[in-house]
Amino acid sequence: MTREPSAGSTLRPVAAPWLSVIVPTLNEERGIAATLARVAAAADVEIIVVDGGSEDGTVAAVRPWAARVLQTERGRAVQMNAGAGAATGEVLLFLHADTLLPEGYERNVRAALLDPAVVGGRFDIRLDAAGLAYACLGRLISLRSRLSGVATGDQAIFVRRAVFERLGGYPSLALMEDVALSRALKRAGRVVALRATVLTSARRWRRHGFVRTVLLMWALRCAFLLGIPPAYLRVLYPDHRDGARSSPT
């Protein structure tokens, strides 16, 4: 059973977790508590935060909520693999620090995995910005993912631990590690596209411009699928200097 953290708490006890939620962070002090509070609303869920060298109060902010707080070098693939290695749950869910899971998320994941043929899955997505353009973008991202069977990290990818280990975890890529894992999952078995939606930050589109960002993100995905190495694409990615999201949505 979960509990609210106390001021002096540094460990959130979990009895026999079946699900481990792994959250890579980098300078996410402002919103990380809301993200983790939603995760912690579920019972028997282990929270593992892996920080990539935050220079703000992120690490202090996550300690009351997390069962483990790890620190590694910067990079989503490195951070998420480290979290998976420390996790004890039979199912792993990888959550971006600026993304809110839907209420009852754990029930959705558990129900999806009742089918032994299912190796993992992801959620639909909404953006936290008002306006028709953002609403349409969220629906288009979800539809594209549903049709292609490929998800991005914004969609809270979850996977059976045994399958994740068999696939070797996230590949060590400078960009698109989540897309690469998602494509590998497709080859490993059935991947479900949950209708429940996560709410993710639209800060990237606000910061760099809506149309410009949409076009660039799709161009980067196409270039990756055509075989251009992520190391070259990384310099074109608008947030590569501050270590924000590591793959285009």
> Per DSSP, what are the bridge partners of residue 21?
47, 93
Q: What per-residue confidence (pLDDT) applies to 7?
A: 35
CA distance 71 to 101: 23
Which alpha helices (H) appear in the chain, and where do they start and end? Answer: 32-40, 58-62, 76-86, 105-112, 132-148, 161-166, 177-188, 203-208, 210-225, 230-233
Q: What per-residue confidence (pLDDT) applies to 245?
A: 44
pTM: 0.83
Q: What per-residue confidence (pLDDT) applies to 175?
A: 74
Domain 19-203 has CATH 3.90.550.10: yes
With contact defined as beta carbons under 8 Å apart, do 112 and 93 qualify? no
With contact defined as beta carbons under 8 Å apart, do 120 and 160 qualify? yes
Sheet of strand 91-94, all strands in order from the earlier edge strand to the far edge: 68-71, 45-51, 19-25, 91-94, 158-160, 118-127, 190-200, 99-100
Residue 140, CA distances (Å) to 34, 57, 220 in order: 26, 35, 17
Q: What per-residue confidence (pLDDT) applies to 203?
A: 77
**What are the tokens at 160?**
């059976």
Would you tell me how many other CB atoms lie within 10 Å of the CB of residue 187?
A: 9
| All structural domains of the chain with their residue ranges | 19-203
Q: What per-residue confidence (pLDDT) applies to 166?
A: 97
CA distance 249 to 241: 18
**Along the 249 residues of the chain, how does pLDDT read in single tens digits?**
333 333 333 445 556 799 999 999 999 999 999 999 999 999 999 999 999 999 999 999 999 999 999 999 999 999 999 999 999 999 999 999 999 999 999 999 999 999 999 999 999 999 998 899 889 989 999 998 999 899 989 999 999 999 999 999 999 887 789 989 999 999 999 999 999 999 998 877 777 677 677 666 776 767 666 676 666 566 665 554 444 344 444
Q: What per-residue confidence (pLDDT) applies to 230?
A: 64
Q: What per-residue confidence (pLDDT) applies to 235?
A: 63
Q: What per-residue confidence (pLDDT) applies to 239?
A: 55
Would you tell me how many other CB atoms lie within 10 Å of the CB of residue 155?
A: 28
Computed from CA positions of residues 233, 235, 238, 244, in that sequence, does the dihedral angle turn out positive or negative? positive
Selection from 70, 103, 98, 101 nearest residue 84 by Cα: 70
Q: What per-residue confidence (pLDDT) applies to 204?
A: 76
